[in-house]
Structure formats: structure tokens, C-alpha cells
Amino acid sequence: MRNFRVWVGLATMFAAMSLVGCGGHGSSNAANVRLVNATLSHASLNLLANSGTVVSGTAINTVSSYATVSTGSVVLQINDATTNTVLTTTAPTLVSGQDYAVVAYESGGTLLTSVIQENTAAPVSGTANLRIFNTAADAGAIDIYVTDPSTDLSTVSTPTFSLVSSSSTQATGFLSLASGSTYRIRVTGSGNVADLRLDIPAVTLSNQQNATVLLTPTTGGTLVNGSVLVEQGTYTATANANARVRLVAAVTPGAAVAASAGTTPISTTLTSPSVGAYTIVPSGASLNITVNGASVAAPATPLAAGSDTTLLVYGSTAAPTANLIADDNHLPTIVTNFKLRLINGLTGAATPLTLDANFAVIASNVAPGSASAYSVVASSLDTRLDVFSPANPTAIYSESTLNVPGDAVYTLFMLGDAGVPIHLLQRDH
């Protein structure tokens, strides 16, 4: 497993409970449960207990009212409210007279839940408590800064909270802050303030509140979404407004390729064939692309918020084409495996390509300018990769002793002229 660390303040509950029925908040002989819809794709959710609906129609980015349930052996179930499809079940142990929030979120297309107890003792007058609850495990090790809204992060030497890489949810302890003040909450990659994963510009904490900042996964897996859940109070969601994109120059070798998203540079000059680094840009910004200074038509699809994307510019310098390829940087569920795909960026007499891993076909007929689906491969000290072209029975790329670590995501790029192909195995996450 990836390094596991749970900070003081994490409340996880396991076992079953039984339904008494829907009711008001505050019953002394039952538990009170509400549902947070922090998903990416489910417009509305229902919460059931023992197959009976207790919460109906919780819209995305909102929290429901409390439902009263008894303590006992009963399974909680979350359904899509539109299709009534069962998405997940969980069985927490709930204590009589206590309040809980069931947080529903998505990671790599799978709906998951975390249960948070909401009965922390109120802090002293004039203060409020704040903590971080991180479900975005694929983001890896992160730092969280809680500052005045005007603070420049480059002037801050120490983060407010730090979380190590973990395959499980993590929570910090509560931090006491002055109430009535407005704070800015920023999440960065560990040790790198320039690697901004989330920016919540303004959070105002009221007197004696206990608030939890929820970090949840995005579609790309590296950026995070955020929200603030006040115990027995409000819920405010802040979706990530950015995207991560990298430029791949796959036009005629030697050509200079550049791109920007609005006024934010993605890469000022990338000599083909090569792969640039991910850059964080505003989602939805217009793409500007040039090859040797000449403008190239941008893809019609905008960069989606929270996404990781490869901007592939391929073909001849006389007639280059730009294509956006969605990257899925969610890590594999088993840490001894890795995810791998092929991107065909060959120019010239380029043809579809096939990728074998350890003599098994994992991608076939990958057309120029496109990517294969991801495949899961067992990690090995001597992984064998072969790439074939239909026009040649001999592999155009072959390596039999690759040490490919697990718990990672890779792309094998085939670039350059089809007659003299260049390979690049890139670790994306």
C-alpha cells in the first residue's frame, strides 16, 4: 500500500445501522444523518437505509437535511436519483444522539463514501475550528495553506497542514482560528507552492464554528475540488476552475511548437519531437497554437475544469493538426500494478500502431494523432514492451528489460518520422 497516515481528528465508522424513519434533527435516542453530494457526474442522489429512502434528491454540490435513523445493523445505500441505480453501500456504526455527514464523491468513475461525525465540542468564544479532510488520494502528497486572502504564497515558509501520499482518506486535527475573519485556502503539491492544486479564495468562519474543508477528486486525478462543511451547518462547494495541460510536439522533426491557454503559456518553444511538462491553466480558456510561428487551428473542445490533458500537435509542418487527448492520472487500485497507454505521434508515412506488454497485446490499431485506452500491467524489474506497425513484422520499438515501478501512470509516446521512430516512456503520475 502507499504510505498511510491518518491525522488526529479522523472519524471513521464501520458496522451496520437500522432505519427508524425520516424525522427532525436532534433526536436523543437515534442518530441523525445527512448526505453531501460531492460527486462529479450525479446530478442528484438518494440515501437509503434497509432499502427505505431516508434522503431524497440531494443535488450535486449541496447537502441534505438530517434524517433520523436508529442505531443498529442496517446498510446505508446511495442511489442515483434519476436512474435509481445503486451506486454504493456502506455500513457505519452510528451512536445514539450523534450527528453524521455521509460524503459521496467519485474517483476514477467509482462512487465512494466517507462518514464524518459532527459533534465536536464548540471552541471558546471568539474562535473557530478548521480542519482538512482529504479524500483525493490520487493527488499524492500535498500542502495546505490557510492565510489572509492577500498573502503571496512565495513569502510563506511553512504550510498550515501537510499530508503525505496515502491510499486512504486523511484528516488533520482542528486548528483554532480567529472567528469573523476571512481566510484563503490553497492546496499545492508537496514542497512546491507553484504547483497550485486548488484555490478557495474566501472562507469566513463564524464564532464557535467547527468547519471541515473537504478535498475531493477531479476528473484528471491530480487537481482537487474543495468544499467547506460546517458541523450541523452549511455546506459550500468550490469546484476547481483550472485544468492541467501539456504540449506534445509531434510535427516534422526540428520544428518549433508553442501553445498558450488564453494569456497563460503552456510551452513557449518546444522543439519537435518532444513532450512538455504539465502546466496549470484556466479551464475553458482559448487555445493558441503555432508551428514555426504560423497559427494552427485549435481543437473545438475546451479544456475541462479539473482535467489533465495532452495537447498533441502532429503531422507535417505544412499541415499540422492539434488534438486534445484526455489523461486519466488516477493511480491503479493495486500498488504493484501500473497503468500504461500508447500515443501515436508519428509523422510521414504513419500507420496505426500496436503495443504489446510482456507479449500480450494491450493496445491495437492506434491511429496517428490518437491514444489507446489505459491498460493495467503488473510491475516488474524486466517488463517487455514492443510496438508494431502493420507494414513491418519487426517491432519498430522493443525493450525487454524495463524496470517499471508500480503505483504509477505511464504513456509510451511514439514520435518523429515513421521511418526513424523515437520512443519516450513518460511517467505521468
pLDDT, tens digit (0-9, with 9 covering 90-100), for 249-290: 999 999 999 999 999 999 999 999 999 999 999 999 999 999
Whether the pLDDT of residue 331 is over 60: the answer is yes
The angle at the Cα of 212, spanning 209 to 215, to the nearest 5 degrees, equals: 160
Which residues are CB-neighbours of 374 under 8 A, at least 6 positions away? 328, 339, 340, 341, 409
Please report which confidence band the pLDDT of residue 178 belongs to, taking 50, 70 and 90 as the band edges.
very high
Over range 331-353, report the average pLDDT: 92
Whether the pLDDT of residue 21 is over 60: the answer is no
Q: Which stretches of 81-133 are DSSP H helices?
A: none
Over range 148-158, report the average pLDDT: 95
Name the pairing type of β-strands 408-417 and 337-347.
parallel
Edge-to-edge strands of the sheet including 161-163?
161-163, 142-147, 182-189, 192-204
Three-state secondary structure call for residue 52: strand
Q: Decide: 34 and 67 in contact? Cβ < 8 Å.
A: yes
Name the pairing type of β-strands 392-404 and 360-366.
unpaired
Q: What is the pLDDT of residue 28?
A: 55
Question: Minimum mean pLDDT among 15-24, 75-84, 373-382: which range?
Answer: 15-24
Residue type, 373: A
Q: Decide: 345 and 371 in contact? Cβ < 8 Å.
A: no
Distance CA 131, CA 174 (A): 5
Whether the pLDDT of residue 124 is over 90: the answer is yes
Cβ-count burial 148-178 (b if 16+ within 10 Å, e if not): eeeeebeeeeebbbbbebbebbbbbebeebe
Alpha-carbon 393 to chain mean position: 40
Question: Minimum mean pLDDT among 16-30, 92-106, 179-193, 372-386: which range?
Answer: 16-30
- Find the distance separating the first CA and the last CA of the chain, reported in whole Å: 16
Average pLDDT value for the chain = 91
Q: Decide: 405 and 379 in contact? Cβ < 8 Å.
A: yes
Pick the residue with more confidence: 94 or 249? 249
Pick the residue with more confidence: 344 or 14? 344
What are the chain's domains? 31-240 (no CATH), 241-327 (2.60.40), 331-429 (2.60.40)
